[in-house]
Protein backbone atom coordinates (compact mmCIF):
# COMPACT_ATOMS: atom_id res chain seq x y z
CA UNK A 1 0.00 0.00 0.00
CA UNK A 2 1.05 3.62 0.64
CA UNK A 3 1.86 4.32 -3.05
CA UNK A 4 1.82 0.80 -4.56
CA UNK A 5 -1.20 -0.31 -6.61
CA UNK A 6 -2.36 -3.32 -8.63
CA UNK A 7 -4.35 -2.75 -11.82
CA UNK A 8 -6.14 -5.17 -14.12
CA UNK A 9 -5.38 -4.49 -17.82
CA UNK A 10 -5.56 -6.08 -21.26
CA UNK A 11 -3.13 -8.95 -21.84
CA UNK A 12 0.43 -7.88 -22.77
CA UNK A 13 -0.03 -4.41 -21.27
CA UNK A 14 2.88 -2.03 -21.83
CA UNK A 15 4.57 -1.23 -18.49
CA UNK A 16 4.43 2.57 -18.01
CA UNK A 17 7.92 4.09 -17.80
CA UNK A 18 7.91 6.05 -14.57
CA UNK A 19 5.39 4.31 -12.29
CA UNK A 20 5.41 0.80 -13.72
CA UNK A 21 7.26 -1.93 -11.85
CA UNK A 22 6.05 -5.22 -13.30
CA UNK A 23 3.23 -6.83 -15.24
CA UNK A 24 2.04 -10.44 -14.97
CA UNK A 25 0.40 -11.71 -18.14
CA UNK A 26 -2.46 -14.21 -17.96
CA UNK A 27 -4.57 -15.59 -20.83
CA UNK A 28 -7.46 -13.24 -19.94
CA UNK A 29 -5.58 -10.11 -18.79
CA UNK A 30 -2.50 -8.57 -17.19
CA UNK A 31 -1.94 -7.67 -13.57
CA UNK A 32 0.07 -4.44 -13.51
CA UNK A 33 1.99 -3.29 -10.44
CA UNK A 34 2.71 0.45 -10.19
CA UNK A 35 4.28 2.64 -7.53
CA UNK A 36 3.88 6.41 -7.52
CA UNK A 37 5.77 8.68 -5.16
CA UNK A 38 9.48 9.04 -4.69
CA UNK A 39 10.20 6.64 -1.84
CA UNK A 40 9.88 3.39 -3.85
CA UNK A 41 9.24 0.99 -1.01
CA UNK A 42 7.53 -1.78 -3.00
CA UNK A 43 9.20 -5.17 -3.12
CA UNK A 44 8.49 -8.45 -4.91
CA UNK A 45 9.39 -11.85 -3.51
CA UNK A 46 9.47 -15.02 -5.57
CA UNK A 47 8.88 -18.18 -3.54
CA UNK A 48 8.01 -21.78 -4.33
CA UNK A 49 5.47 -23.69 -2.26
CA UNK A 50 3.33 -22.87 0.78
CA UNK A 51 6.12 -23.53 3.28
CA UNK A 52 8.37 -20.97 1.59
CA UNK A 53 5.49 -18.51 1.51
CA UNK A 54 4.89 -19.01 5.24
CA UNK A 55 8.45 -17.92 6.05
CA UNK A 56 7.55 -14.42 4.77
CA UNK A 57 5.00 -13.86 7.51
CA UNK A 58 6.26 -16.03 10.32
CA UNK A 59 4.99 -14.74 13.67
CA UNK A 60 2.53 -12.30 12.07
CA UNK A 61 -1.04 -12.69 13.28
CA UNK A 62 -3.79 -12.96 10.66
CA UNK A 63 -6.14 -10.70 12.51
CA UNK A 64 -9.50 -11.97 11.22
CA UNK A 65 -8.60 -15.57 12.06
CA UNK A 66 -7.17 -14.77 15.50
CA UNK A 67 -8.80 -15.76 18.78
CA UNK A 68 -8.95 -13.33 21.70
CA UNK A 69 -6.12 -15.25 23.41
CA UNK A 70 -3.86 -15.08 20.32
CA UNK A 71 -4.67 -11.39 19.89
CA UNK A 72 -3.85 -10.68 23.55
CA UNK A 73 -0.50 -12.47 23.30
CA UNK A 74 0.55 -10.57 20.17
CA UNK A 75 -0.69 -7.23 21.51
CA UNK A 76 1.06 -7.43 24.87
CA UNK A 77 4.34 -9.09 23.86
CA UNK A 78 6.01 -5.69 24.29
CA UNK A 79 4.80 -2.61 26.16
CA UNK A 80 4.08 -0.21 23.30
CA UNK A 81 1.40 2.29 22.38
CA UNK A 82 -1.76 0.86 20.81
CA UNK A 83 -1.26 2.93 17.67
CA UNK A 84 2.25 1.63 17.16
CA UNK A 85 1.49 -2.04 17.71
CA UNK A 86 -1.69 -2.03 15.58
CA UNK A 87 0.21 -0.56 12.64
CA UNK A 88 3.23 -2.86 12.98
CA UNK A 89 3.08 -5.31 10.04
CA UNK A 90 5.42 -7.71 11.85
CA UNK A 91 2.78 -8.13 14.59
CA UNK A 92 -0.61 -7.85 12.85
CA UNK A 93 -1.29 -8.47 9.18
CA UNK A 94 -3.08 -5.86 7.11
CA UNK A 95 -4.28 -3.14 9.51
CA UNK A 96 -2.28 -0.02 8.64
CA UNK A 97 -2.71 3.62 9.54
CA UNK A 98 -6.30 4.30 8.41
CA UNK A 99 -7.98 1.26 9.92
CA UNK A 100 -6.01 1.53 13.17
CA UNK A 101 -7.55 5.00 13.68
CA UNK A 102 -11.02 3.58 13.01
CA UNK A 103 -10.44 0.57 15.30
CA UNK A 104 -9.26 2.73 18.21
CA UNK A 105 -12.23 5.06 17.80
CA UNK A 106 -14.66 2.14 17.82
CA UNK A 107 -12.88 0.65 20.86
CA UNK A 108 -13.02 4.01 22.69
CA UNK A 109 -9.29 3.78 23.45
CA UNK A 110 -6.45 6.30 23.29
CA UNK A 111 -3.89 5.74 20.51
CA UNK A 112 -1.20 6.39 23.13
CA UNK A 113 -2.44 3.90 25.76
CA UNK A 114 0.17 1.27 26.56
CA UNK A 115 -0.48 -2.34 25.66
CA UNK A 116 0.72 -3.91 28.90
CA UNK A 117 -1.28 -1.47 31.03
CA UNK A 118 -4.58 -2.33 29.34
CA UNK A 119 -7.01 -4.19 31.63
CA UNK A 120 -8.46 -7.43 30.14
CA UNK A 121 -11.88 -5.86 29.51
CA UNK A 122 -10.24 -3.17 27.35
CA UNK A 123 -8.20 -5.76 25.45
CA UNK A 124 -11.52 -7.52 24.71
CA UNK A 125 -13.00 -4.17 23.64
CA UNK A 126 -10.06 -3.66 21.26
CA UNK A 127 -10.31 -7.22 19.90
CA UNK A 128 -14.04 -6.81 19.18
CA UNK A 129 -13.47 -3.38 17.59
CA UNK A 130 -10.71 -4.81 15.37
CA UNK A 131 -12.92 -7.65 14.10
CA UNK A 132 -15.98 -5.42 13.66
CA UNK A 133 -14.16 -2.56 11.92
CA UNK A 134 -12.29 -4.76 9.44
CA UNK A 135 -15.35 -6.90 8.66
CA UNK A 136 -17.46 -3.77 8.24
CA UNK A 137 -15.03 -2.31 5.68
CA UNK A 138 -14.43 -5.61 3.89
CA UNK A 139 -18.14 -5.91 3.31
CA UNK A 140 -18.56 -2.26 2.32
CA UNK A 141 -15.68 -2.27 -0.15
CA UNK A 142 -16.77 -5.58 -1.68
CA UNK A 143 -20.24 -4.13 -2.22
CA UNK A 144 -18.74 -0.98 -3.73
CA UNK A 145 -16.62 -2.88 -6.26
CA UNK A 146 -19.19 -5.66 -6.88
CA UNK A 147 -16.89 -8.27 -8.43
CA UNK A 148 -14.95 -5.71 -10.50
CA UNK A 149 -11.23 -5.23 -10.01
CA UNK A 150 -10.90 -2.32 -7.52
CA UNK A 151 -9.38 0.81 -9.09
CA UNK A 152 -8.82 4.23 -7.45
CA UNK A 153 -7.82 2.51 -4.20
CA UNK A 154 -7.27 4.92 -1.30
CA UNK A 155 -6.90 4.70 2.48
CA UNK A 156 -9.39 7.55 2.93
CA UNK A 157 -12.96 6.34 2.73
CA UNK A 158 -16.25 8.19 2.91
CA UNK A 159 -17.95 7.01 6.07
CA UNK A 160 -14.83 6.73 8.17
CA UNK A 161 -15.33 8.09 11.68
CA UNK A 162 -11.99 9.81 12.37
CA UNK A 163 -9.30 8.89 9.84
CA UNK A 164 -8.52 11.80 7.50
CA UNK A 165 -11.22 13.90 9.23
CA UNK A 166 -9.18 16.39 11.29
CA UNK A 167 -11.45 19.16 12.69
CA UNK A 168 -14.61 17.55 11.31
CA UNK A 169 -17.27 16.43 13.81
CA UNK A 170 -17.03 12.95 15.34
CA UNK A 171 -20.07 10.99 14.05
CA UNK A 172 -20.78 9.68 17.57
CA UNK A 173 -20.45 12.81 19.75
CA UNK A 174 -19.94 15.80 17.44
CA UNK A 175 -16.60 16.88 18.95
CA UNK A 176 -13.96 17.97 16.43
CA UNK A 177 -11.61 15.17 15.41
CA UNK A 178 -8.04 15.70 16.69
CA UNK A 179 -4.68 14.77 15.29
CA UNK A 180 -1.16 13.90 16.41
CA UNK A 181 1.44 14.45 13.74
CA UNK A 182 4.68 12.52 13.60
CA UNK A 183 7.22 11.96 10.84
CA UNK A 184 5.24 11.94 7.57
CA UNK A 185 2.13 10.46 9.17
CA UNK A 186 -0.78 11.49 11.35
CA UNK A 187 -3.09 9.83 13.84
CA UNK A 188 -6.70 10.98 14.12
CA UNK A 189 -8.82 10.46 17.22
CA UNK A 190 -11.78 11.90 19.12
CA UNK A 191 -10.81 13.30 22.53
CA UNK A 192 -14.34 12.98 23.92
CA UNK A 193 -14.80 9.35 22.84
CA UNK A 194 -11.25 8.12 23.38
CA UNK A 195 -9.19 10.14 25.88
CA UNK A 196 -11.78 11.42 28.39
CA UNK A 197 -11.47 14.84 26.74
CA UNK A 198 -7.72 15.06 27.16
CA UNK A 199 -5.92 16.46 24.13
CA UNK A 200 -2.84 14.61 23.05
CA UNK A 201 -1.64 17.91 21.64
CA UNK A 202 1.70 18.20 19.92
CA UNK A 203 2.27 21.65 21.41
CA UNK A 204 1.77 21.00 25.13
CA UNK A 205 3.76 17.80 24.96
CA UNK A 206 6.57 19.53 23.11
CA UNK A 207 6.66 22.32 25.73
CA UNK A 208 6.87 19.68 28.44
CA UNK A 209 9.54 17.68 26.69
CA UNK A 210 11.39 20.54 24.99
CA UNK A 211 14.26 19.14 22.94
CA UNK A 212 13.19 15.61 23.83
CA UNK A 213 10.04 16.07 21.77
CA UNK A 214 9.56 12.75 19.99
CA UNK A 215 9.68 12.95 16.22
CA UNK A 216 8.00 9.60 15.69
CA UNK A 217 5.42 7.49 17.44
CA UNK A 218 8.16 4.97 17.94
CA UNK A 219 10.13 7.46 20.02
CA UNK A 220 6.96 8.38 21.87
CA UNK A 221 6.43 4.70 22.70
CA UNK A 222 9.92 4.44 24.07
CA UNK A 223 9.61 7.35 26.54
ZN1 LIG B 1 -16.54 11.36 19.59
Domain ranges of the chain: 1-36, 59-222
Level-2 CATH architecture, domain 59-222? Orthogonal Bundle (1.10)
Question: How many whole angstroms from 189 Cα to the centroid of ligand 1?
Answer: 8
Cα–Cα distance between 48 and 1 in angstroms, integer? Answer: 24
Cα distance between the two ends of the chain:
29
The dihedral over CA atoms of 110, 64, 45, 6, expressed in degrees to the nearest 10, equals: -80
Taking all residues of the chain, what is their mean pLDDT, rounded to a whole number? Answer: 86
Question: How many whole angstroms from 181 Cα to the centroid of ligand 1?
Answer: 19
Q: What is the DSSP letter of 19?
A: T
pLDDT tens-digit profile of 74-112? Answer: 999 999 999 999 999 889 988 988 999 999 999 999 998
Question: How many whole angstroms from 53 Cα to the centroid of ligand 1?
Answer: 41
Question: How many whole angstroms from 222 Cα to the centroid of ligand 1?
Answer: 28
What is the structure's pLDDT at 152?
Answer: 78
What is the structure's pLDDT at 200?
Answer: 78
Amino acid sequence: MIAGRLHWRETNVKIPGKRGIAAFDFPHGSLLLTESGSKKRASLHVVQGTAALDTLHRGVLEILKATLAEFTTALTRQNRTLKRVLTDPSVFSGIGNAYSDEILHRARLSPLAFTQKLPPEQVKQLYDATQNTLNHWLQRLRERHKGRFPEKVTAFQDGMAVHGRFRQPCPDCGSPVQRIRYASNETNYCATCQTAGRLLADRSLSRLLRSDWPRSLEELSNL
